[in-house]
Chains A and B, each alone.
Chain A
Amino acid sequence: MLDLHVWGPAFGLPSIDAECLAIIAYFHNALPSSSWRLIPSNDPAVSPSNLLPALQHEGTWTSGFQPIVQYLTSAAICDGLDETLSSIQRADSVAYSAYLRAHAGPLVDLSLYVSAANWAATTRPAYSSLLTFPLTWTVPTLIRSEAIKRAEHLGLAELDTDFDPNGGLHLTAGRDALPETFRRHIPLMTKKTVHEEMTPEQATAIRLFGLTEDCLTVLDDLINAGDEDHPRFFTDAAVSSLDCLAFGYLALMQKPAVPRSFLKDWLEPKAPRLHKFGDSMLAAITARGDLPWATPDPTSVTRFGGRILDSILRHIPNLGEQYAAEMRHRAEHQKKGLDQRALMLIMGVVLAGLATGYGFQTYRAMQPFGASTQSWKPRRMRTRLSEFGQLGTMLSSAMGPFQPLPSVEVDSEVD
């Protein structure tokens, strides 16, 4: 039995992640549904490579679309979908797959993650329905920051500084960098310029459309026009691995109901074949019967708690990045438990924590700067009998009534 772990369904698609969608389409086309199970585990940490989709087969873990496809053919589990392709078609398939990852991937990242309006209205709620409660606060933001890093080279970071004038959750830069609650009471004296009235997607529309056009035209050129109803990239094969991967990315461009749908707006009128391709692939998946969904194993409390702690630690500024790098290092070298490096790090963190705590306590115990030191001393001139316990007190009271008055000395010279 093959266990395929993926991110769960969203936007009316079987998965929220492009590669997961692609591998689901691949399995569904290559294997009978009795021989595999689809597990929406929603936790990349189930596999040692920390990546979904992940395939578990007889104790072997494989992660990522291309490695899983290779594993299926090398372990002779099924005939690959690319068997019937010629060598040049296979070369094309590899090249266009790389192209999808390099260019379509960042576009999907832009649309679903970087654009703040789309993120708030569509993607984040989708993740919230996939994850359980405390993780909904920590994990989606981490996924988003990774996507922002991946799309950074496109130079469209301003999609992130989005604010909806009517919504009012986000702060804006420059003139009205004020919390929304303040802004309502201060009448705006200046008129908004046209540029300020536009949403970031409108302001960068030319660049966005350029990027989309560059990327999708290349795919549109390759897709075969032979079959009008079911366009495929290579006619010889019913469905190839490139079809599956392209479906993963194109479906995420078409299907999610995002408020700023710049990808869909380009795709529908300009590349009807690609649009039809996505629809027909999705229809083919549903036509072949239900996906073999299985419920994931219930996670233990320690594992769940560990995941919460892990995601919180990653949020700490500076320290979180160090922590993430260290965890990556451990995963790459497949280290488990405590070793010398981990011990050194833990010792270091504990020592630094102790030093900080001690310093803080010392600081708290210090006099406020500039304040004069005052000391109170009892006058020790008369009797000292009271120092000798109960008997002394009795004796001293017997010897005469004496109340030592406390005198106050103010030593203002000592700081």
Chain B
Amino acid sequence: MAGPPSRPGWFAVPAPVRELFKLFPLTTLPAESLPERAPERTRPRPCLYVFARTLEDARSGRPSFNPQCLKWQTFLRIAGVQVHLVPSNNHASPSGALPFLLPPTTQTPTSEKESTTTPSSNAVTKPTVPLTGAKIHRYAKDNSPRETLPDSPPSRTEAYEALLLQSLRPAWLYALYLHNSNTHLLKSLYLPPSPILHLPSLHTLRNAATDEILNTTRRALIDPPQLLADATDALRSLSALLAGDDWFFGQPGPGLFDAEVFAYTYLILDEAFGWADDYSLAQCLAKFDNLVEHRRRLYERCWPEAQGEQVNQH
């Protein structure tokens, strides 16, 4: 390049341009407020994000329609931890699946004074990490007002948990996601209200459910009668395990495994759920009286406010 190098060096911004850029920003707008449904900055109670049919259902703490959510909801109720239910969907979750728990915000005493003056200041709250799965378990145990939650024998519990996962869940998935008569139910529970999104979402959900069933059962085809037979076997084993006891593994009180079984038995026998009649897990379950009884017992214990309503039995 011709000419002597300018004094400030090769990469210096020319003075007029620098002047121009100094004009920016022209104005600074005030920060937008967070959306209406964003989690509040301060939470007095932990929030459990679950699938729920309506906002009203979540407010009144009715059981969720998703077995995973219901399991943790029940367990938190067993532990006596008061939570605030928030209806949500998978997109809201950091792990991609519901439920997750936002613990209450803790405030340090020095900043409490500040927070009374400037309530929107985010310096007062410690950022909380959403808890999922086993961490919810830990949280519930740590914060339970009851002294000790019973611990079931670990290795047998794992075996029976695998039984739920391996034999009962594929039948549940088939009944809800793939069985044709339950399509309207699936639409009302999981699909977006927009009719344009219906078909692709339904397709995605069904493909995911098919993959999940095939991977779990380790078979090449989906065989609905076989799935139902496996589920019946699983329920028979659970019934034999429970025998005449009040709670599983002969514990004095309900534990996580009770919550897990309840999550399925409650929804399977729930008459308001809207199951179609021709592929009926309820018929399989109704044969085992002690499981039905276990479901009623746990429901009355955890949802005492629903005592007035008739617990629907098959």
Contact = CB atoms under 8 A, between A and B. Distances in A.
B186 to A, nearest CB: 19
B144 interface: no
Given A92-B159, A95-B163, A222-B155, A101 B233 contact: no
Contact of B159 (A64, A98, A328, A331): A98
B221 A49 contact: yes
Interface string B91-109: 0000000000000000000
A98 B162 contact: yes
Given A49-B223, A91-B238, A91-B241, A103 B162 contact: yes
Interface residues of B, number: 30
Contacts of A66: 230, 233
B237 A91 contact: yes
Contacts of A149: 211, 215
A204 interface: no
B236 interface: yes
Contacts of A407: none
Interface in A5-54: 19, 44, 49-51
B219 interface: yes
A101 B166 contact: yes
Contact of B222 (A90, A96, A332): A332
A104 B106 CA distance: 43
B222 A64 contact: no
A218 B240 contact: no
B2 to A, nearest CB: 38
Contact of B219 (A51, A90, A98, A102): A51
A50 B240 contact: no
A95 B160 contact: yes
A88 interface: yes
Given A94-B233, A149-B215, A102 B165 contact: yes
A91 B240 contact: yes
A399 B166 CA distance: 100
A98 B166 contact: yes
Nearest to A89: B240
Given A101-B166, A102-B166, A217-B155, A91 B236 contact: yes
A83 to B, nearest CB: 16
Interface string B203-243: 00000000100011011111100100110011011101101
Nearest to B168: A98
B162 A95 contact: yes
> Which secondary structure dominates chain B's binding surface?
helix
Contacts of B222: 328, 332
B137 to A, nearest CB: 16
A88 B220 contact: no
Nearest to A64: B219
Given A91-B236, A91-B240, A98-B159, A50 B221 contact: yes
A99 interface: yes
A221 interface: yes
A63 B223 CA distance: 11
Interface string A207-229: 00000000001100110000000
Interface in B118-157: 155-156
A101 B215 CA distance: 11
Q: Which of A19, A63, A94, A218 has the most CB of B within 10 A?
A: A94
Q: Which of B211, B226, B237 has the most CB of A within 10 A?
A: B237
Nearest to B216: A102
A209 to B, nearest CB: 17
B158 A51 contact: no
B74 interface: no
A105 interface: yes
A192 to B, nearest CB: 35
Interface residues of A, number: 35
Contact of B221 (A91, A96, A221, A331): A331
Interface string B275-291: 00000000000000000
B218 A150 contact: yes
A94 B221 CA distance: 22
Nearest to B237: A91
B167 interface: yes
Nearest to B223: A49
B155 A221 contact: yes
B215 A98 contact: no
A392 to B, nearest CB: 71
Contacts of A353: none
A259 interface: no
A67 interface: yes
A378 B177 CA distance: 74
Contacts of B230: 66
Given A88-B241, A90-B240, A91-B238, A44 B159 contact: no
A218 B163 CA distance: 14
A63 B233 CA distance: 17
B233 to A, nearest CB: 6
Given A51-B221, A102-B162, A150 B215 contact: yes
Given A88-B241, A102-B165, A95 B159 contact: yes
A333 to B, nearest CB: 10
B240 A87 contact: yes
Contacts of A102: 162, 165-166, 216
Contacts of A67: 226, 229
B175 to A, nearest CB: 16
A338 B230 CA distance: 33
A94 B234 contact: yes
Contacts of B160: 95
B243 to A, nearest CB: 7
A326 to B, nearest CB: 13
A95 B233 CA distance: 9
A216 B191 CA distance: 40
A286 to B, nearest CB: 27
A134 to B, nearest CB: 21
Contacts of B211: 149
Top 5 nearest A-B pairs (CB, nearest first) are: A91-B237, A91-B240, A98-B166, A99-B162, A50-B220
11 contacts: A51-B220, A64-B219, A67-B229, A90-B240, A91-B237, A95-B159, A98-B162, A98-B165, A102-B166, A153-B215, A222-B159
Interface of B: 155-156, 158-160, 162-163, 165-167, 211, 215-216, 218-223, 226, 229-230, 233-234, 236-238, 240-241, 243
Given A49-B223, A328-B221, 6 more contacts: A49-B219, A88-B241, A92-B156, A94-B237, A153-B215, A218-B155
